[in-house]
Every structure is written in structure tokens, then in C-alpha cells.
Chain A
Amino acid sequence: MGRKAKLANIVSELYLSYGGLITPLGDTATENFENMRLGKSGVHKVSGSGFNKEDWPLGKINSLTSENRYTELLEKICEALIENVGIEILSADRTLIIISSTKADITALPSDTFASTREILKNKWNPAHAPLIISNACISGVMAINTAADYINGDKYDTVVTIGIDALSDFIVYGFQSLFALSDQSSKPFDKNRTGISIGEAAGAIVISNKKPENGAFCVNYLGGSSSNDANHISGPSRTGEGLFRSINKTAERSSINIQDIDFISAHGTGTMYNDEMESIAFDRLSLNSVPVNSLKGYFGHTLGAAGIIEVISTMLMIEHGLLLKSPGFEEQGTTKKMNVLSENVEKEVQLALKTASGFGGGNASLILKKSL
């Protein structure tokens, strides 16, 4: 009993490094960061993309050329992982692969939409264990990283590779259009004139390990994470930000940090009136009003199951380069609570970064990253 209790309390030091980033702004992390630094956006009007042939602005990856965007994108991120991380780690017995996706290969219906995911991984490096798939709406990516930490802290694996991926489809675009949630210009998170979401597609991969990467790749520490439900509405954000408020509190407690020491927030910021307002209320309740914050949705669009992963990679890049990226589309404060939304890139050494996500089903999730010594 004594030994067991002791073991159960061991929490390893965890390191995050990125293994691939494919978005409308580029096929590598370096290319993405350079384009973000220059203020480029990957969101552009796509002719005839709407149900009534509207030209919605979307974050579309133009280099995807095959009939099946999802499987092509998954193949590409797997190849990036093989190049950046190596088959040996990917296929090791002490390595688990976690996939974060909302709709996966939706065009496969009425067949299994997740079958091609398992098939592709098997063909690429035949993982020692069946991949674990998380499909928890827009918080899937953050939850995938938190789950990876659970597995390593539980001494089940030494390394967990999380892949966040979602591709554009009529299904998703028509769906958000039917909710009147799409913006007719590139989304403007937290701005006064925001009118909705721009949907995007992307894939990103993060390696979580109890050891620093052997190849000397840049890494940050993962301190802790959590989720919390709003218990309010399946598709409408809470008016009080209750779930997000609780999740951030829980995450800070698990990370053994003081919330006031957070010096950067990568928010969810979809660009809808209600979501962004909800986030501002939650941050206000935690007195985070003056902490620099951005939403990266203006660079890539909202990439659903990929969002949490690609936004954590972007946060790691900001920590690596000591440069906080501006929040594209933001000009004038548009939330009732004051926020320090970045309207320009700012050079800053970040020690503690908070990543948040919120989504349908009332889900909220968060995690804290620390600059590695």
C-alpha cells in the first residue's frame, strides 16, 4: 500500500517538442512561424464553398491535391514525424500515438470514418500499440496532450505522440453555415466587429516525453492540464465562463503555479460574439486582464480537432523565438471585459504560457507550458 501510494504520486518532468506542422501557412513549423511573423494569413475566400455556392473565407491548404484531403494530410504529417522524430521512437513499445480529430475521414461515410487513420499509421510505421483516438469537439487537441501526460505520469509509456488533424469538407462548412456561425470575412477574434468563424484545415504533431529530445530539438515543459464542462448548453457558450474558469483554476493548481505568474495566453478565440465574450469573462474572473493574449484562428482558421495541437506548437514557437505573435483581425476591443489582445508582434521572454480551448458539448480545457531551463 505504502509503495503503491508513493508510486501513484510520482509525476515525471514532461517535455514537449514539435514533430510537424502543416497548415494553410506552410508545411513546416519554421515556414509557419516565418509567415505568421510577417503577418500573413492562410484564410482566403474559396469560390463556391458554401451550400448556396457562397465564397466563404476558409483556411484551405492549397498543396493538398488528391480527392481525399484528410488521408493526404494524415500521410503528410506522418511523413513529417518520420523525418523529425524517427521510426525508432514512433514504433517503440514504450510509445503511444494519440489522434485528435472531430470528423476524421468524413467522406468515407457510410463506412467507418476512422478506419483510414488506423490503416495509414499501420502502413507508415506500424505502431506497437493501437492508436488512441480522441474526438471531443474543439477541445480534442488540448485534451490529447493532457491525456498523453496522464499516460506518462501513470508510467504506461515514456513517449506519447499526439497528432491533431481535421480537413475541410462540405459537411463542416455547410454545418457551420447552417448555424449562421461563419464570418463573411476572415475571422476577427476578440474584435468589436467580429461576425463569426472561419473554418480551416491543418495537421500538427507534438511529442510528449519524460526525456528531453535526443536530437536536441527545442522543447518546453508541460506542467499540468484539465478539462471542465460548462453544464450549460450543448452549442452555446456559458454566459459566465464557468467551465473555462474552473478548468484554468484546476490546471494552475495541478501545475503548482500562481495564476498571476502566467505571462502569455493562447486563447481559443473563434471570432463569434458569444464565444469570445465568454472567454473574456472567464479571464476577467481570474484577473488575467493585462496578460498578453492572442487567438491564432486568423492565421489558420478554426481547425477544430487540430486547433489545440497547432496552437500549442505555435505557442512553443513563440517561446522559442521570444516573440509573441499578434492576434490577426483584432483592431478594437470587442468584449465587455478588458483583455490585452496583441495587435502587434511583441518581443517577450515567456516563462509560463496558458493554452485554453472551448467547444461544443460545453467542453473547456487548458494546459500550462513552462520555458525549459
Chain B
Amino acid sequence: MKILASCKISDQGIYLNGEVQQKYTKETDNWKKDVYSKMKLDYPKFYKMDALAKMAFLGFELMESVSSFEHFEDNDVALLFANRNSSYDTDLRFIESYTEKGSPGPSLFVYTLPNILTGELAIRKKWFGENIFFIQENFDPEFFIDQINFYFRKGSKACLCGWVDSANDKEECFLFVVEKTDGEITAEELKKYYKQ
């Protein structure tokens, strides 16, 4: 297997394939909208997404701006995702809608599941492959390598993997695409990209 692309978004900035980005930064509270505008994307669904889905969407679009995934067919790509805090921010906003703002908000409720973001990515790419979302205490590269191996063995040709978390004003998004080829990737390699 080999890593085709990676994207890391954290307080340190936005990194694409290990390179810090000057054009796309994370300096303002509105950084998601800024990156969306700078990338000249035209995808109105973006505005409806919650913070978690927006982050995953942008991370993926950034990877796609430098790598092509067009050679994969619609069943080929498995989406393997995890985070620590599930849909924490949106959960709190949904609770607020019925405890303080008058009535439970349906547009918030539908985002109170972490795997909605994998749905958004599948819709964007029209990818019908396997999807799974785990809750873990920390990003665990060995765990992802095991999962990738499972899905390759079951027939997936690539895995879009992600650790996308948002809670208490701490946002983190690490995405990488792995293609099935001879050879292995190591936990150290993933750790290196993750730590940026």
C-alpha cells in the first residue's frame, strides 16, 4: 500500500502532503469559509454542513487539488474514520435549540452523528464503497493500518482515512488516502504526517 495524499488541519496550520500551505491558512474563526472561497468551490451543500463535516470536506478537496482519485471506480474506496468526541459541538448546539432557543432544530439533529461526514464525502464523490466510523481516545496509526488491511483484503482498492475531531474550540482534521499496492506503510510514516 502507499499513501497517495494527506492533509492535516490543526492550530499549527494547514498541511498538504507534508507541506505547510501559505495560500490556505487557519488564522481566522471563519477559516473554513475562507478556504472554501479561495478554492473557488461551487458546492452549496457546504453551507449546510456542520463544522466537522465542513472540515472533512475541505481537507478532502485540498487533497484532490493536488492528487487525482478519478481512477477509482465507485465501489473501490472505503471511508475509514474515527474521532474522540463524536459529534460533540453539534450535540451541544442541538441541546441548546430545545433548552434555550424554543424548539429542537431538525437541521442540527441530523448532524448529531459523526458518520454524517462520511456520508457527505460519499455524496460529493458519488462513492458507494464501505464506510465506518469509530470513537477512539487518540489517533492510533496501528489501528488504521489494521483497518486498511482488512478493507483491502475484502476488496477495496483504496481507503480514505480520517481523524476529524472538534470539541471545546479544539479542531483537528487529518485525512489520508491509501492505495492498494505492493509494499507497506508504517505507523511512523502516518505519525509523521499526523504530527504536523
Question: Complex formed: what's the CA distance from A51 to B94 in Å?
Answer: 13
Question: Complex formed: what's the CA distance from A8 to B1 in Å?
Answer: 15
A329 within 8 A of B: no
Q: Which residues of B in the span 100-116 have a Cβ within 8 Å of any Cβ on A?
A: 103-106, 109-116
A114 within 8 A of B: yes
Question: Complex formed: what's the CA distance from A106 to B85 in Å?
Answer: 12
- A137 / chain B contacts, CB cutoff of 8 Å: 113, 115-116
Q: Which residues of A in the span 91-137 have a Cβ within 8 Å of any Cβ on B?
A: 102-104, 106, 109-110, 112-114, 130, 132-137
**With A8-B153, A243-B128, A360-B113: A175-B122 Cβ-Cβ less than 8 Å:** no
Contact of B91 among A109, A233, A360 (CB under 8 A): A109
- B88 / chain A contacts, CB cutoff of 8 Å: 109
Q: In the bound complex, do residue A363 and residue B115 qualify as a contact, i.e. CB atoms below 8 Å apart?
A: yes
**Chain A: minimal CB distance from B122 (Å):** 4
Q: Which of A179, A227, A229, A360 has the most CB of B within 10 A?
A: A229
Q: Which of B86, B113, B122, B155 has the most CB of A within 10 A?
A: B113
Question: Contact flags (1/0) for A160-174 with B, using CB distance below 8 Å?
Answer: 000000000011001
Question: Contact flags (1/0) for A228-261 with B, using CB distance below 8 Å?
Answer: 1111111100000011001000100010000000
Q: In the bound complex, do residue B104 and residue A150 qualify as a contact, i.e. CB atoms below 8 Å apart?
A: no
Contact of A362 among B75, B84, B91, B119 (CB under 8 A): B119
Q: In the bound complex, do residue B118 and residue A229 qualify as a contact, i.e. CB atoms below 8 Å apart?
A: yes
Which chain A residue shows the least CB distance to B107? A178
A49 within 8 A of B: no
**With A174-B98, A360-B113: A112-B122 Cβ-Cβ less than 8 Å:** no
Q: In the bound complex, do residue A135 and residue B113 qualify as a contact, i.e. CB atoms below 8 Å apart?
A: yes
- B120 / chain A contacts, CB cutoff of 8 Å: 234
**With A154-B146, A154-B149, A231-B123: A136-B98 Cβ-Cβ less than 8 Å:** no
Which chain A residue shows the least CB distance to B126? A231
Q: In the bound complex, do residue A112 and residue B85 qualify as a contact, i.e. CB atoms below 8 Å apart?
A: yes
Contact of B134 among A110, A134, A228 (CB under 8 A): A134
A185 within 8 A of B: no
- B116 / chain A contacts, CB cutoff of 8 Å: 137, 234, 360-361
Contact of B104 among A106, A175, A362 (CB under 8 A): A175
A206 within 8 A of B: no
- A102 / chain B contacts, CB cutoff of 8 Å: 113
B193 within 8 A of A: no
Which chain B residue shows the least CB distance to A242? B128
Interface residues on A, range: 35 or more
B35 within 8 A of A: no
Q: In the bound complex, do residue B119 and residue A234 qualify as a contact, i.e. CB atoms below 8 Å apart?
A: yes
Which chain B residue shows the least CB distance to A361? B119
Contact of B128 among A103, A106, A113, A228 (CB under 8 A): A228
Question: Complex formed: what's the CA distance from A136 to B114 in Å?
Answer: 7
Q: In the bound complex, do residue A177 and residue B104 qualify as a contact, i.e. CB atoms below 8 Å apart?
A: yes
**With A175-B104, A228-B128, A361-B116: A246-B75 Cβ-Cβ less than 8 Å:** yes
- Top 7 A-B residue pairs of the complex, sorted by shortest distance between their CB atoms: A361-B119, A175-B109, A229-B122, A178-B104, A150-B150, A133-B135, A174-B104
Can you list 28 A-B pairs, Cβ within 8 angstroms, ordered by A?
A: A8-B153, A102-B113, A109-B91, A110-B92, A134-B132, A134-B133, A135-B86, A135-B113, A135-B115, A156-B146, A171-B95, A226-B154, A227-B131, A228-B128, A229-B79, A229-B130, A229-B131, A231-B127, A246-B75, A250-B155, A254-B154, A360-B119, A361-B115, A361-B117, A361-B118, A362-B119, A362-B122, A362-B131
Apart from A134-B133, A362-B122, what are 16 other A-B pairs with CB-CB below 8 Å? A112-B85, A133-B135, A135-B115, A150-B154, A154-B149, A154-B150, A154-B153, A178-B105, A229-B79, A231-B123, A231-B126, A360-B110, A360-B116, A361-B115, A362-B131, A363-B118
B interface, CB within 8 angstroms of A: 74-75, 79, 84-86, 88, 91-92, 94-95, 98, 103-106, 109-120, 122-123, 125-137, 146-147, 149-150, 153-155
A interface, CB within 8 angstroms of B: 8, 51, 102-104, 106, 109-110, 112-114, 130, 132-137, 143, 147, 150-151, 153-154, 156, 170-171, 174-179, 226-235, 242-243, 246, 250, 254, 360-363
